Every structure is written in structure tokens, then in C-alpha cells.
């Protein structure tokens, strides 16, 4: 035998090459099998393995647990320890998925009895059902997060988390609820998808291929308590070599972005349809008092209260969160510097101003329940201005108002008390949700007429008791009173002034002696702190200024009181509303003017009643308050939420629908007008005399159109295919798919025998087969082949008809 | 797997195959489909098992192929006393050079006809089968490559089982395809009666294809493009044989690979540079019939093969063809 033959590859070696071209090594059948499997999948998108799916499921379960548990942040429920514990545990098992295996077996044995015991004890001790249920829910989540989950446990996590989110959302109506619900829903859907994928992947392989420990579900499916027990104490295969970075890389690799896009669009569509339903279904009023109780909402870190200690308002000022959003129907009515009054404090005692019980008794009416209340202001001429307030929860139970009002309407019925003369409205409880109310006929000037007090002031000599607004009890002591008297004289120059003149004079004197600061220092020493401060030249904050002013005014013989609330605010340029933050909290004074029988605003640090007129008003003033920051964009979202979702009542529903109708009608009208205009222009253009240049332009345009059409026909579909068919997905390459469809049509019995055997038919079929099954690089131009196929099919059908006709006749 | 085959190579292959086909038709009459399947087996580089009664032209088929190809042909008549060294060759002590010299056996050829392979003892059978698998003979630790190309035509009589050692399924797997010749049509047979002379030496055929051309065909067959859906089609058929209750066991992984390789070869034989699903369906029976055994007992091999073929046809009909 010729030795040269030995250099040729032998059939055996060629047989080896069957298994893998260009490979010189022999392969065992198992390797061949792997190669076959890999090869058949090599042109397809890679898929997650079972281990990776289980890992992904673990991750999503952890995220859902965290999302659910974190609702505690805005519920007023004592579950912080549990929340923190669950958060830590979930994060720990996310980082090290082998940890749950270390949980001793007796924990699993005792888990449910102890959780039930805890719940019963909790209920017994606190006698509050909902908080106990929330704590139970968190406890269950905690347990679920530290043990390997079977499928029903996975579903339990979704339900438990959903309970927390819905409870927190319904009870607080916060914007966060919407965001959290959306994120939660998205995560839950992904979670369910992962569960389904895991099941189908695990189901595809018969049992035995997957080791027991790798798949707790498989264990439970096979039943047996021992198995389940085993699954809990031995870390499953995926957990032993879990690598998050690797998982994320793989996720990015296997994600088909078109599917993600489609899923996203579907999700957005569902949200959109829900929004439409929300828009369309009839409104009905849920009475606020029905089931909302104040046990669950988060309280603000600070808040306005009946008593104000020095520093309280300043403390509130540290908080920059939104306290109040106000819609104003007529911007011209907005004062340059609005003062949002909330509470009147008349009694001073040892450094503390408070609402005296006497004033409370005297001014606050009986508690009422309802949604409408009438104020003291008389309606004025001209169009009414509506002020819609969206008052955040956790600020105060006293509603911010600008002054006397004509009518105040709550969105939902409330329990409230009205102090008509003080122009103060107090809710029975601090609201747990955002409170919306609309005010009509505001008297937005710094003057508050009070005829009853004027009457009492006139008759003060006959009164048995000193007037409430004059109760300066601790300062009544000799030395301090003398000090104050001396300071009043110093401020006024000893002249006897009217209240209107007293305000600017003393305000200026205070500002000359003290500067404004957020970190004041009250000098040490004995006696009243406010007098000590007044007597020094230390810097101070608004409460010190306002309090001092009230003391001085009272010593000078004017009734005076401290007012707390907000001053100013910003104008949100995106949603066109006032935004008042907690940092706008302010304290100022009011002083009684005998001549007009009204209380005058006296703000030693800003605009007093007299100065109001000189300041710019309305839109001009708003220009200075414009807020176009990113924070304002977020706040506008919040206002949208309040205006269009939370406070979406029948009236706003009607308004919205009307606006939509008008917008549709208008756009239709505009479109018709535009078409008519275009038609008229065209007619005029055609009517003009024709010359060579115009003809050339028209012909050129036609040629360009024809060229575009030709280009589109030639490359359009191919380009589209390239765009959508980057690589073969489940249904394969679009060209292959279309070629397959043409082949099937040509193969139909009616067109098969005899008709496709002509040369052109055979050639078309061969080309289609090449497009369907051939290598891409050898493809003829698909569009042309498809056109020929269309022609061949038509031809075949024509022939068939021609043959059938004689038969029928 | 490179993506496509240059058209020039396909044309050359087509010409070579056409010459082969025409040449073989001179002696094998009325059996064009059998010739095509033999060519598929040759191009795929596999071995062929022909099960049929004696005297229907098995040897003529092998001989005419070998003659058409400018190849060395050898024939081994298997009997129960045949020894492995009778097949592979033996090392003999040579007095002149004072060492063992390897005398090559009949297996050192390009086309080997192993006649009535089931008559030999398993030991001898396995000697041949090893050569088929490895394409080399190892004697005294020394490897001797057999011819290239190397193709074994094994025949066995499916009816006469007296004194035979049937090949176990594992060894059946070594054969790429299994064929039946069948009797020729009557007018073809008339022509045979008219022209045939006794003795194979009387077959006068000139070689029309060189050995290197055959090797080129074989390597070209590996380059034939197989689209993913066709691979999946193969996979589904293979999977269906594994879940079929009629079969003792399903097709092996090697069976799947063989089906793919044969489909590629068939595409080339039919002048295509890509595989069609019909290449697969046409080859399922020749590739799988001898590899699969029925779960139930049958009276003889012929009946078993028929039942297996029918089941395979049912399976192929049930698996959706990619379209």
C-alpha cells in the first residue's frame, strides 16, 4: 500500500469530523451530544439555566420582601425593629444565599407556632387589630426571607407584600404609594415570570437529572416531610455557587430587548387603561371618618401645636418637605407675600406662648362634622377666586388660611371646629392623609376685622377680668415690667402712638438691635428669657422677634398675640401652584387697632399690614417666586397626583372630560381649517399661469417621488427586516419565515403536481428553498424571489381555473 | 462549519457524482435509488449494511462502485472459522530481515465487501468493526492505516439464521446506513438476463473518479449548510424515537449525528449546498432501521425491520416539518 495514502485523512478520522468539523480529536458520544445540542442552539439566543433562574427568583423574592416591609417608613406603626431585622436578614441572604441553610432545624419546627403565639399576644396586649396584622405580616416575610422557598412560599411573599403596600397606600394616599405600587407590580410580574420559567425548565427535564438539593420544588413535589426538611438545611446547588455579577452579565446577555420593550409597553398599556377607567367610572364619596383612624400614618418630625416653645418653629424650618400646595384660580388675587395663618397664641408663660384655654372656650365653636363651613368675610364684587389647598399630613390639625374667608369646602366630610373671629379652623385630629379643601372669598390682606373684640375692648373697664390678649402674667412682675416699659419708650421715643404707627416703629427698632439668625442665643441669667433676650443685642429668630413684639405691644397698651403658620412659598412653574414647605414656617404678631376695630399683622421681620399695599401683587410678584428646579418638577408630580387622582371628584371629572372634549373638537376644527387652507392654496397655485420653470419643478418633484418609491420598494422591506430581524428569535429569521410561507403556498396540492414543474416554477422553488434553508451568504435577493413566487403562484392559479372551466360547463 | 460552499466546488462535485452515477448504472440496472443511497453513504464517509437475499446484486453493487472509483477492492467471505488475522493481516517472522513483518490482510483496501458478516464469530466481527471505526489496524502496537477512502459493504442474509452470530445493536450502530436491494423490475431483469455474464471479473468498468476526488467530496459534504430549524427537526425525530413505546431504546446520539451527516451528503448528491427537510425524511429509515430494535419479539429480522420502518414512517409523519 502506498505510504502516501497515510497522510490522507482516513474515513475514521472523517467520521470523527462528522462530529465536529476541523477537530482532529476523537470524541466520546457524550461530547458529541453536547456538541449537537450546542450547535443547534448556537444561532439562537442563549437561555438562562435552571440555577440562574432559581438565583433570579431568590433575588426578586428579596426585592419584593424589602419593598413590602419598607412601607413601615410611612406608617405610624411600631414595627421598626421588625422592619430593620427583616431588611438586614433579606440583604444578608441576598448577598450570601447559603446562609438560610445555617438556620438550625428547630427554628423551622418552631417558626409557625411562635409566630401565631406572637400574633395572639400582640393582639391581646395592644388590642389594635391592624397594627398587629401588619406586624404578623412582617414577621411572616422575615421567616420566608430566611428559608429556602417552595413555590407556594413564593406566592405567599407576593400576597404578604401586597397586603402591606395596599394597607399603607389606602390609608395614606401618598404619592409614594403610586410609585411603590408600580414598582411592586413590575417586580411581582417579573417574579411570576421567573417562577413560570423555572417550572417549565425544571419540568422539561425529567426528575433525576436535577439533584434533589438543587430544586426545593422538586422535593416538595415528591412529597415527604424528610425531603422538605432536607431541602431547608442543605444549601441548594444554585446557592452554593451563586454569583450576582455573573448573573447580571448573563441576564444582559440573554435579555431580548424587543421582548422587554413589548412587556414594558404592555405594562404601560395596562396602567393607561386603568387610568382611563379611573377617569371614566363614576365618583362616590368615601366618608373620611368612616374607617380612617389616626393609628397608622406617619407623624411629622415636628408640627404646629397649641403650644409653641421658643425654637419649635425653627425646628420645623429644618424640614424642607412640602407642607402645603395651593391652587389659585385668579393669580391677580395673590398677595405679594402671603401669610398662611394657622394658629393664634395669646397666652405667654415662662418663655412659652400658647393658646389659652379661655380663648379656646370663648372662640372655638362646637365640634361639627360636615364638608362646608361659612366664614365671616362678606362676599365681594367681581369674580370669585377659588383657593384649593392640599395640606399634607403630619403638619398640624390647624388648617393654613390667609385670613377671613367666605366659604370653606372640604373634599370629604371632616370633624372640625371653627373659630370664626380668629379665622382659624381646627380639625379634631391631625389628619392622616392629605387634606384637601377649597376656600372662596378670601380677605387676603393683613387686616382681620374683629368687631366682637372691639366691643369688649371698649368695655374693658367694666369687665371683671383682664382681656385675654393682655395676659402677660409672668412679665407682670415689677422689674421686668419696668424693663419692658423702658424698652418701649426707647423704641417709640416716648411718644403715644396709634397701633398702625407703633408697628413699623417698634419693628424697625427691633431690627436695629437684633439681627435675624436661625441659631439664636438667649443670654443666661434669672427672670424671663424673652425679656433677657430683648434687653440684650443678641441675634434671634422669628419667634423671639414676634414674642418680643407682643410683649412690648402689651406693655404699651395694645392687645397683641403671636400667630404661627407659613410665610411666602414658591410658585411652581410647572404645575402653576403655590408650594409651601415646612421650611417656610414662620411666627409673627397681630396687634389690635382701636380705630379700625381690627387686628393688624405685625411682622417685625417682614411685611406688616401697612406695607402690604406698596408691594407688587399678582403675577408680577409671582415672577420673583418662580421655582423651575428639579425639585419643582417632582413637586408638580405630587400636585398632579392630588389634583387629578386623589381629589378627583365629580366636578374635576366633569372638568377633565369637558377639557378633553374641547381639545378634541378644537383639534378637529383646526385640522379641517388647515385642510381647507391647503386646498385653497393648491387651487390658487394651479390657477396660476404655467411656464417652463414651474413645469420643471413639478416634473422634478414627481421624479423624486418615483425615486423614493422605487428605493422604498427595493430596500425598504429589506431594511425593515434588518431592523427587526437582527437574529433569529423563536420564529427565526423573517426572510426564512416568508420563504417558508411561500414554499407552503406553492406546495399546496392544487399547485403542486404538474403546475410547478415548468422551469420557472422549479427555479422559484429552488430559490425559495435556498432562502429558507440555505446559508445566508448564498441567498439570492429575497425581494425579487418573493415577487417571482407571487407571479408563479398567480400563474398557477390562472392555469388551474382555465383547466377547471371546461369541466364545469 | 463554514457558512457556505463556493458554487465552483458544487459544480465539480456534481460532475464527479454524475460520472459515478452514470457508470454504475451500466451494471446496476433499474436501481437508481439504491445507487443514490450508496453514493450518499460514500460521500458521508460511512459504511453500508446491505440486508437481502443472496443473488440480488449486492456484490455487483460494491464491485461496480469500487471499479468506478480507481480504488482497491477486496472481498472477505465471512465463515464461522474465519480468524481476525484473516481479516486484518498478520505479523510473520521474516528470516531474511530477522524480524516480524506485517502482512496486510484483505481489509487494506478502499472498498471492502464483507459478505455474510453474521456468519463469522463475534471475535472476527469485532476485528472488522474496529477497523471500520478507527480506519486503522493495530498489530503488535503498530498502527497501520487502511485505504482512504475506506468503505465497508457488509451483507447479511436476514432470513437464513441457521449457524449465525447476529451483530449486537452496538455494533450495528457502526454502519451509517442499511439498504435493501430488492428484486429488479421485470424489464430490467430481462435486460440483465440478456447481458449478464458470470464472474465479477467480467464487469468491465473504467474508473471515472479519482480517489482524491472522492476524498474532496467527503470533505465537501461536511461543509454543506444545515439550517437551525433542520437541525431541530433532526433533534425532534431523534427525541421521538426515544419516547416511542414500540422501540426497545431510542436512537443514539451517534445516530443523530449520522443522520445529519447523511443529510448533508444527500444534499450534495442532489446538487445542493444546503440541506432540506426532505433530505432528512428520506434518510430516516436507512439510517435508523438497523439501529433500533422492537420492544416485542418478532419471528425474524426481516419482519422486525419492516415493523421498525413502519414505526419510523409514522414518527416522521408526526414530527412537524419546518416550513
pLDDT tens digits along A521-530:
777 777 777 8
Higher pLDDT, B255 or A331: B255
B228 contacts B277 by C-beta, under 8 angstroms: no
Pick from B228, B251, B260 the residue to mutate for testing the A interface (most A CBs within 10 Å): B228
Q: Binning pLDDT at 50, 70 and 90, where does residue A30 land?
A: very low
Q: Binning pLDDT at 50, 70 and 90, where does residue A214 land?
A: very low
The pLDDT value given to residue A705: 94
Name chain B contacts of A18, Cβ cutoff 8 Å. 44-45, 222, 257-258, 260-261
Domains of chain B: 7-318 (3.40.50.300)
The pLDDT value given to residue A86: 92
Q: Binning pLDDT at 50, 70 and 90, where does residue A43 land?
A: very low
CA distance A729 to chain B (A): 11
CA distance A43 to chain B (A): 7
Q: B103 at the A interface (CB within 8 A)?
A: no
User: Average pLDDT, stretch A734-740?
Assistant: 84
A72 contacts A83 by C-beta, under 8 angstroms: yes
Q: Binning pLDDT at 50, 70 and 90, where does residue A290 land?
A: very low
pLDDT for residue A652 is more than 90: no
How far is residue A188 CA from its own chain's centroid?
18
Query: In this predicted structure, which of A19-28, A582-591, A724-733, A734-743 has the lowest mean pLDDT?
Result: A19-28
User: Given an 8 Å threshold on Cβ–Cβ distance, is B145 in contact with A778?
Assistant: no
pLDDT for residue A288 is more than 90: no
pLDDT for residue A46 is more than 90: no
The pLDDT value given to residue A4: 41
The pLDDT value given to residue A146: 85
Question: Which residues of chain B from 251 to 310 reach within 8 Å of chain A, CB to CB?
Answer: 252-254, 256-258, 260-261, 272-277
Place of cell 381555473: A801
The pLDDT value given to residue A708: 92
The pLDDT value given to residue B189: 85
Beta strands, E only, chain B: 48-51, 73-77, 89-94, 99-104, 111-115, 136-139, 142-145, 151-156, 177-179
User: Average pLDDT, stretch A269-294?
Assistant: 63
Q: B229 at the A interface (CB within 8 A)?
A: yes
The pLDDT value given to residue B136: 83
Burial B13-25 (b: 16+ CB within 10 A, else e): beebbeebbebbe
How does DSSP assign A316-331, residue by residue?
HHT--SEEEEEEES-G
The pLDDT value given to residue A476: 53
What does DSSP assign to residue A242?
A: -
Return d(Cα A796, Cα A804) in angstroms, integer. 12
The pLDDT value given to residue A673: 94
Q: Which residues contact A629 (CB under 8 A, 6 or more apart)?
A: none
End-to-end Cα separation, chain A, in angstroms: 76
Q: Could you tell me which chain B residue has the CA closest to the CA of A26?
A: B134
Q: Which residues contact B221 (CB under 8 A, 6 or more apart)?
A: B43, B44, B45, B261, B264, B265, B268
Pairing of strands A570-572, A368-374: unpaired
A760 contacts A792 by C-beta, under 8 angstroms: yes
The pLDDT value given to residue B201: 64
Lookup: cell for A571 = 410658585
The pLDDT value given to residue A752: 47
The pLDDT value given to residue B266: 93
Higher pLDDT, A492 or B230: B230
Q: Chain-wide mean pLDDT for chain A? A: 76
pLDDT for residue A464 is more than 80: no
Q: What is the pLDDT of residues A701-728, one digit of tens each?
A: 999 999 999 888 777 666 666 665 544 4
pLDDT for residue A549 is more than 80: yes
User: Given an 8 Å threshold on Cβ–Cβ distance, is A40 in contact with B235?
Assistant: yes
Q: A149 at the B interface (CB within 8 A)?
A: no
- CB contacts < 8 A (A, B): 119
The pLDDT value given to residue A89: 92
pLDDT for residue A39 is more than 50: no
Domain borders along chain A are 3-41, 50-242, 307-646, 734-808
pLDDT for residue A229 is more than 60: no
Q: What is the pLDDT of residues A178-207, one digit of tens each?
A: 788 888 888 898 888 888 888 887 764 433
Pick from A8, A768, A773 the residue to mutate for testing the B interface (most B CBs within 10 Å): A773
Q: Binning pLDDT at 50, 70 and 90, where does residue A232 land?
A: low
Return d(Cα B149, Cα B135) in angstroms, integer. 9
Q: Which residues contact A339 (CB under 8 A, 6 or more apart)?
A: A402, A446, A563, A565, A566, A567, A586, A588, A601, A603, A607
Q: Binning pLDDT at 50, 70 and 90, where does residue A601 land?
A: confident
User: Given an 8 Å threshold on Cβ–Cβ distance, is B231 in contact with A775?
Assistant: no
The pLDDT value given to residue A322: 82
How does DSSP assign A413-480, residue by residue?
EEEEEEETTTTEEEESS--SS-EEEEEES---SSEEE-HHHHHHHHTTTT-SS--GGG--GGGGSHHH
Q: What is the pLDDT of residues A661-684, one digit of tens each?
A: 888 889 999 999 999 999 999 998
The pLDDT value given to residue A479: 74
pLDDT tens digits for chain B (323 residues)? Answer: 445 566 778 888 888 899 888 888 888 888 888 899 999 999 998 999 988 887 888 888 888 888 888 888 888 888 889 888 888 888 888 888 888 888 888 888 888 888 888 888 888 888 888 888 888 888 878 888 887 889 998 888 877 777 788 887 777 888 999 888 888 888 888 888 887 766 666 667 788 888 888 898 898 888 888 988 899 999 999 999 998 888 888 888 888 999 999 999 999 998 888 899 989 999 999 999 888 888 888 777 778 888 889 999 999 888 888 87
Higher pLDDT, A159 or B163: A159
Q: What is the pLDDT of residues A639-649, one digit of tens each?
A: 777 777 766 66
Name chain A contacts of B260, Cβ cutoff 8 Å. 18, 36
Return d(Cα B47, Cα B177) in angstroms, integer. 7
- Whether this model's ipTM surpasses 0.85 comes out as no
Lookup: cell for A284 = 362616590
Question: Which residues of chain A from 742 to 801 reach within 8 Å of chain B, CB to CB?
Answer: 743-744, 769-770, 772-778
Cross-chain CB nearest to B148 (options A8, A769, A777):
A8
Higher pLDDT, A15 or A142: A142
Q: Binning pLDDT at 50, 70 and 90, where does residue A309 land?
A: low
Return d(Cα A510, Cα A544) in angstroms, integer. 10
User: Average pLDDT, stretch A465-471?
Assistant: 58
The pLDDT value given to residue A738: 84
End-to-end Cα separation, chain B, in angstroms: 23
User: Given an 8 Å threshold on Cβ–Cβ distance, is B274 in contact with A773?
Assistant: yes
SS3 B101: strand
The pLDDT value given to residue A234: 73
Q: Could you tell me which chain B residue has the CA closest to the CA of A14?
A: B45
Name chain A contacts of B4, Cβ cutoff 8 Å. 774-775, 777-778
> Please, is A267 exposed, middle or buried when counting C-beta atoms within 10 Å of its C-beta (0-12, 13-18, 19+)?
middle
User: Given an 8 Å threshold on Cβ–Cβ distance, is B252 in contact with A29?
Assistant: yes
Burial A213-234 (b: 16+ CB within 10 A, else e): bbbbbbbbeeeeeebbeebbbb
Amino acid at each position: 500500500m502506498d505510504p502516501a495514502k497515510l497522510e490522507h485523512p482516513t474515513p475514521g478520522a472523517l467520521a470523527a469530523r462528522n462530529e465536529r468539523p476541523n477537530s482532529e480529536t476523537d470524541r466520546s458520544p457524550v461530547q458529541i451530544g453536547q456538541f449537537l445540542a450546542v450547535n443547534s442552539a448556537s444561532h439562537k439566543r442563549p437561555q438562562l439555566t435552571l440555577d440562574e433562574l432559581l438565583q433570579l427568583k431568590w433575588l426578586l423574592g428579596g426585592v419584593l420582601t424589602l419593598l413590602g416591609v419598607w412601607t413601615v417608613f410611612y406608617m405610624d406603626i411600631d414595627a421598626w425593629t421588625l422592619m430593620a431585622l427583616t431588611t438586614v436578614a433579606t440583604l444578608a441572604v441576598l448577598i450570601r444565599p447559603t446562609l438560610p441553610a445555617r438556620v438550625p432545624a428547630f427554628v423551622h419546627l418552631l417558626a409557625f407556632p411562635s409566630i401565631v403565639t406572637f400574633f395572639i399576644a400582640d393582639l391581646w396586649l395592644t388590642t389594635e387589630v391592624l397594627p398587629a396584622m401588619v406586624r404578623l405580616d412582617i414577621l411572616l416575610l422575615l421567616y420566608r426571607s430566611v428559608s429556602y422557598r417552595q413555590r407556594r412560599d413564593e406566592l405567599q411573599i407576593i400576597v404578604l407584600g401586597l397586603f402591606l403596600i395596599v394597607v399603607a397606600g389606602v390609608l395614606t394616599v401618598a404619592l409614594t404609594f403610586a410609585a411603590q405600587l408600580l414598582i411592586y407590580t413590575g417586580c411581582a410580574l417579573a417574579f411570576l415570570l421567573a417562577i413560570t420559567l423555572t417550572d417549565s425548565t425544571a419540568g422539561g427535564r425529567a426528575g433525576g437529572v436535577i439533584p434533589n438539593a438543587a430544586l426545593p420544588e422538586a422535593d416538595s413535589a415528591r412529597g415527604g416531610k424528610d425531603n422538605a426538611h432536607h431541602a431547608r438545611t442543605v444549601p441548594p446547588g444554585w446557592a452554593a455557587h451563586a454569583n450576582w455579577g455573573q448573573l447580571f452579565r448573563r441576564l444582559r446577555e440573554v435579555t431580548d430587548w424587543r421582548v422587554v420593550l413589548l412587556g414594558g409597553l404592555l405594562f404601560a398599556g395596562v396602567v393607561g387603561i386603568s387610568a382611563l377607567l379611573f377617569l371614566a367610572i363614576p365618583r362616590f364619596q368615601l366618608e373620611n371618618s368612616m374607617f380612617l383612624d389616626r393609628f397608622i400614618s406617619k407623624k411629622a418630625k415636628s408640627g404646629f401645636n397649641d403650644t409653641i416653645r421658643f425654637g419649635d418653629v425653627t425646628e420645623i424650618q429644618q424640614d424642607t418637605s412640602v407642607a402645603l400646595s395651593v391652587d389659585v384660580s385668579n393669580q391677580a388675587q395673590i398677595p405679594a407675600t402671603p401669610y398662611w395663618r394657622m394658629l393664634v397664641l395669646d397666652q405667654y408663660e415662662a418663655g412659652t406662648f400658647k393658646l389659652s384655654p379661655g380663648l379656646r372656650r370663648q372662640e372655638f365653636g362646637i365640634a361639627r362634622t360636615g364638608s362646608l363651613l361659612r366664614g365671616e368675610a362678606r362676599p365681594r364684587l367681581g369674580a370669585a377666586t377659588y383657593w384649593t389647598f392640599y395640606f399634607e399630613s403630619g403638619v398640624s390639625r390647624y388648617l393654613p388660611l390667609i385670613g377671613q374667608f367666605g366659604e370653606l369646602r372640604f373634599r370629604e366630610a371632616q370633624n372640625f371646629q371653627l373659630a370664626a373671629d380668629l379665622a382659624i379652623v381646627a380639625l379634631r385630629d391631625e389628619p392622616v392623609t392629605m387634606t384637601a379643601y377649597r376656600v372662596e372669598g378670601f380677605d387676603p390682606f393683613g387686616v382681620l376685622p374683629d368687631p366682637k373684640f372691639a366691643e369688649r375692648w371698649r368695655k374693658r373697664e367694666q369687665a371683671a377680668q383682664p382681656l385675654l390678649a393682655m395676659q402677660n402674667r409672668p412679665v407682670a412682675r415689677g422689674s421686668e415690667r419696668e424693663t419692658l416699659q423702658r424698652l418701649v419708650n426707647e423704641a417709640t421715643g416716648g411718644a403715644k402712638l396709634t397701633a398702625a404707627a407703633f408697628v413699623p416703629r417698634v419693628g424697625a427698632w427691633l431690627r436695629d438691635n437684633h439681627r435675624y439668625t436661625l441659631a439664636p442665643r438667649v443670654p443666661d441669667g434669672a427672670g424671663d428669657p424673652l425679656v433677657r433676650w430683648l434687653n440684650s443685642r443678641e441675634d434671634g429668630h422669628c419667634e423671639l422677634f414676634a414674642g418680643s413684639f407682643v410683649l412690648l405691644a402689651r406693655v404699651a397698651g395694645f392687645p397683641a398675640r403671636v400667630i404661627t403658620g407659613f410665610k411666602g412659598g414658591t410658585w411652581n412653574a410647572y404645575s402653576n401652584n403655590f408650594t409651601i414647605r415646612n421650611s417656610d414656617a414662620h411666627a409673627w404678631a397681630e396687634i389690635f387697632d382701636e380705630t379700625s376695630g381690627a387686628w393688624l399683622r405685625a411682622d417685625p421681620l417682614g411685611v406688616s399690614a401697612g406695607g402690604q399695599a406698596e408691594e407688587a401683587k399678582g403675577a408680577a410678584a409671582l415672577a420673583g417666586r418662580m421655582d423651575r428646579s428639579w425639585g419643582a418638577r417632582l413637586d408638580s408630580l405630587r400636585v398632579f397626583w392630588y389634583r387629578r387622582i386623589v381629589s378627583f371628584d365629580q366636578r374635576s371629572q366633569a372638568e377633565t372630560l369637558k377639557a378633553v372634549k374641547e381639545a378634541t373638537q378644537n383639534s378637529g376644527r383646526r385640522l379641517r381649517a388647515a385642510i381647507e387652507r391647503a386646498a385653497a392654496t393648491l387651487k390658487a397655485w394651479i390657477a396660476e399661469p404655467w411656464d417652463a420653470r414651474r413645469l420643471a419643478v413639478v416634473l422634478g418633484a414627481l421624479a423624486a417621488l418615483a425615486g423614493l418609491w422605487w428605493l422604498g420598494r427595493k430596500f425598504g422591506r429589506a431594511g425593515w427586516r434588518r431592523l427587526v430581524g437582527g437574529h433569529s428569535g423563536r420564529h427565526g429569521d423573517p426572510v426564512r419565515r416568508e420563504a417558508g410561507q411561500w414554499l407552503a403556498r406553492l406546495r399546496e396540492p392544487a399547485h403542486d403536481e404538474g403546475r410547478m414543474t415548468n422551469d420557472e416554477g422549479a427555479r422559484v422553488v429552488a430559490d425559495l428553498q435556498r432562502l429558507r434553508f440555505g446559508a445566508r451568504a448564498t441567498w439570492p435577493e429575497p425581494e425579487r424571489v418573493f415577487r417571482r413566487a407571487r407571479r408563479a403562484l398567480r400563474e398557477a392559479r390562472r392555469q388551474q381555473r382555465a383547466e377547471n372551466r371546461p369541466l364545469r360547463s | 462549519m463554514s457558512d457556505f460552499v463556493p458554487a465552483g466546488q458544487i459544480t465539480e462535485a456534481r460532475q464527479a457524482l454524475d460520472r459515478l452515477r452514470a457508470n454504475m448504472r451500466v451494471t446496476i440496472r433499474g436501481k437508481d435509488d439504491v445507487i443514490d443511497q450508496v453514493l450518499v453513504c460514500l460521500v458521508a464517509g460511512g459504511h453500508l449494511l446491505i440486508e437481502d437475499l443472496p443473488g440480488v446484486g449486492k456484490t455487483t453493487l460494491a464491485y461496480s462502485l469500487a471499479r468506478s472509483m480507481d480504488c482497491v477492492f477486496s472481498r472477505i467471505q465471512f465463515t464461522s472459522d474465519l480468524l481476525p488475522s484473516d481479516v486484518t493481516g498478520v505479523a510473520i517472522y521474516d528470516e531474511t530481515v530477522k524480524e516480524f513483518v506485517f502482512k496486510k490482510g484483505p481489509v487494506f483496501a478502499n472498498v471492502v465487501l464483507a459478505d455474510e458478516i453474521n456468519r463469522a464469530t463475534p471475535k472476527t466481527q469485532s476485528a472488522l468493526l474496529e477497523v471500520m471505526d478507527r480506519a486503522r489496524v493495530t498489530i503488535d502496537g503498530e498502527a497501520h492505516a487502511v485505504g482512504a477512502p475506506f468503505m465497508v459493504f457488509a451483507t447479511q442474509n436476514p432470513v437464513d439464521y441457521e449457524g449465525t452470530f447476529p451483530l449486537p445493536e452496538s455494533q450495528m450502530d457502526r454502519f451509517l446506513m442499511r439498504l435493501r436491494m430488492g428484486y429488479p423490475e421485470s424489464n430490467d431483469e430481462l435486460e440483465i438476463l440478456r447481458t449478464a455474464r458470470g464472474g465479477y471479473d467480467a464487469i468491465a468498468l473504467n474508473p471515472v473518479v479519482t480517489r482524491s476526488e472522492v476524498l474532496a467530496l467527503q470533505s465537501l459534504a461536511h461543509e454543506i449548510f444545515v439550517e437551525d430549524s433542520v437541525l431541530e427537526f433532526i433533534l425532534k425525530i431523534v427525541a421521538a424515537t426515544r419516547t416511542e413505546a414500540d422501540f426497545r431504546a431510542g436512537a443514539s446520539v451517534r445516530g443523530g449525528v449520522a443522520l445529519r451527516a447523511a443529510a448533508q451528503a444527500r444534499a450534495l448528491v442532489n446538487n445542493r449546498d444546503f440541506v432540506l427537510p426532505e433530505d432528512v425524511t428520506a434518510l430516516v429509515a436507512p439510517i435508523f432501521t438497523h439501529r433500533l430494535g422492537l420492544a416485542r419479539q418478532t419471528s425474524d429480522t426481516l419482519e422486525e425491520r419492516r415493523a421498525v420502518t413502519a414505526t419510523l414512517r409514522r414518527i416522521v409523519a408526526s414530527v412537524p416539518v419546518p416550513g
